[in-house]
Amino acid sequence: MNRDNLILIFRFLLLLFLQAFLLNNINFFGFINPNLYLLFIIVYRLDGNPTLLIVLGFVMGLLLDLLTQGSGGQTIAALTISFLRPYIIRFSFGVNYDVPMGMIKGSLLTQRLLYLSLMVVIHNLVLCSVIYFSFDNTITILKNTLFTSLFTFILIYISLGLFKNK
Amino acid sequence: MRQLINALLKYKNTLLYLGLLIISLIFLNHRSFYHQSIFSRTGLALSSKFNRTVQNVSSYLDLAYTNEKLIAENVKLKALELMHFTEQTPKDRTIDSFPFKVLGARIIKNSYNLARNYLIIDQGYTDGIETEMGVISSDGVVGIVNQVTAEFSSVISILHRDLKINAGFKKNGAYGSLSWQGKHPKRMKLNDVSTLNPVMVGDTIVTGGMSDYFPYGIPIGKVFSFQKPELEGYYDIDIELFSNLTQKDFVYILKNIKKDQLNQLKNESR
């Protein structure tokens, strides 16, 4: 249990700094920055305490906003996706999910892909909506959500593969 | 009690989420001017709708009194009109070139007990209201339009500690800036009047024509007391307002038609 906590803290800090200082400066095609820190929320233990995850998600988003001079969109997006995660899991893996070690083993590929893409798309949708915060920019919000989600999804999928090999 | 605690425990994640969401919205509100303005505009729209309903009821009950006041004001205007016809001095014949258009509005929310007071009126940009228009009442200055939605506007009251209005003496035109100290809704202070000018208790204070918001000569109040410094310098003058801002129903909004020209001139001379 202690070792798990250490890994959790290490993963939290690593993803936070990676996101704040490297990934937020990519500006692929001028506006696409992958939100890899979502990996922290995605690979959080499925049987872990959901209350703790909400607090961690909030702190993660808040620190990210403070480090990158963001307006507060990451805070709300990370908080919301942490809160919604149990519902998304139930939706994608079925009612009686029983995979303590997360999604790495023992679930269908389609279920995993559904879970991943739902997490990524909802997160980016919330993020873009908060940042633009206006009905006049609906097209921009959807466009940004689409491209950022695609990029984030690819990056997260690759990272998951790396973790699995280790 | 136990059921209450059980219910709280059952929904603890949702409650925690909502609590943290409120914190992040406050954070967002503090960090981004864009979101701040959207929040305050939404708040204005909501609160004005609510206040209008309340005001509708209370203004219906006040109809008799309002009628009396309107008649009184009509009498005053009639007198002015007659004066205008009889005198015909060049100074009074400026109505054609008068650069302000007058619009009427009803106050639906009025505050006067805070340090920074605002009013809400029932006219918005669909009625031609814009920000930075002057607002007066039948007997004095009320404030300046601050924010506008489709149907409502909020007005910075002159009872606002950060607002300064150009005002001067009716008798000789000596001017200074009028500000509110935040204590009594009928007392204001006139600063920056040089001691070169004579001042008497009871002198009338009117708006100065230096600002774009108000035309020259709207009566504001009279000198209540003043202190002269020992050496040369500026007076410390207390003003008593003519109008009682704690009981106002109708206001007039002054639209400065020639504001574009004024702004252009200001930009060019800069």
Task: Cite the DSSP H helix spans in chain B.
Answer: 2-10, 12-31, 33-61, 63-87, 259-269
CATH number (3.90.420.10, 2.30.30.240, 2.40.10.340, 3.30.540.10) of B62-160+248-269 reads 2.40.10.340
Q: Which of B13, B31, B35 faces A83 most closely, judged by CB atoms? A: B13
Decide if B62-160+248-269 and B164-241 have a common fold. Answer: yes
Chain A environment of B38 (Cβ under 8 Å): 133-134
Matching residue, tokens 């009320």: B142
Residue A82 has a pLDDT of 93
What is residue B212's DSSP assignment?
S
Beta bridge partners of B205: B169, B221
Per-domain boundaries in chain B:
2-56, 62-160+248-269, 164-241
- Weakest-pLDDT range from B75-79, B141-145, B195-199: B75-79
Rounded distance between C-alpha atoms, residue A23 and residue A28, angstroms? 10
**Cβ–Cβ of A50/B13 closer than 8 Å?**
yes
Residue A76 has a pLDDT of 92
Look at A43 and B97; give whichever has higher pLDDT.
Answer: A43
Residue A77 has a pLDDT of 93
CB atoms within 10 A of CB B234: 14
Q: Is B206 helix (H, G, I), strand (E, B) or coil?
A: strand
Would you say residue A16 has pLDDT above 80?
yes
Rounded distance between C-alpha atoms, residue A131 and residue A150, angstroms? 19
Q: How many helices (H) and strands (E) does chain B have?
A: 5, 12
The count of CB pairs under 8 A between chains A and B is 54
Residue pLDDT, tens place only, B203-247: 889 888 777 788 888 888 899 888 888 777 888 899 998 888 888
Residues 38-97 of B with CB under 8 A from A: 38
Residue A124 has a pLDDT of 92
What pLDDT band is residue A166 in, cutting at 50, 70 and 90? very low
ipTM associated with this complex: 0.82
B97-107: average pLDDT: 77
Rounded distance between C-alpha atoms, residue A74 and residue A60, angstroms? 9
Chain A environment of B24 (Cβ under 8 Å): 58, 61-62, 72, 75-76, 79
- CATH architecture for residues B164-241: Beta Barrel (2.40)
Q: Is B226 helix (H, G, I), strand (E, B) or coil?
A: strand
Task: Cite the DSSP H helix spans in A43-72.
Answer: 50-68
A62-66: average pLDDT: 90
B9-13: average pLDDT: 86
Rounded distance between C-alpha atoms, residue A1 and residue A49, angstroms? 13
Residue A131 has a pLDDT of 86
B47-63: average pLDDT: 86
B140-144: average pLDDT: 88
Q: Which of B20, B28, B32 faces A58 most closely, judged by CB atoms? A: B20
Residue A122 has a pLDDT of 94
Vertex A101, ends A97 and A102: CA angle to 5°? 60
| CA-closest candidate to residue A41, choices A126, A108, A110, A107 | A126
Q: Which among A56, A67, A75 is the top mutation candidate for probing chain B, defined by the most B β-carbons within 10 Å of its own β-carbon?
A: A75
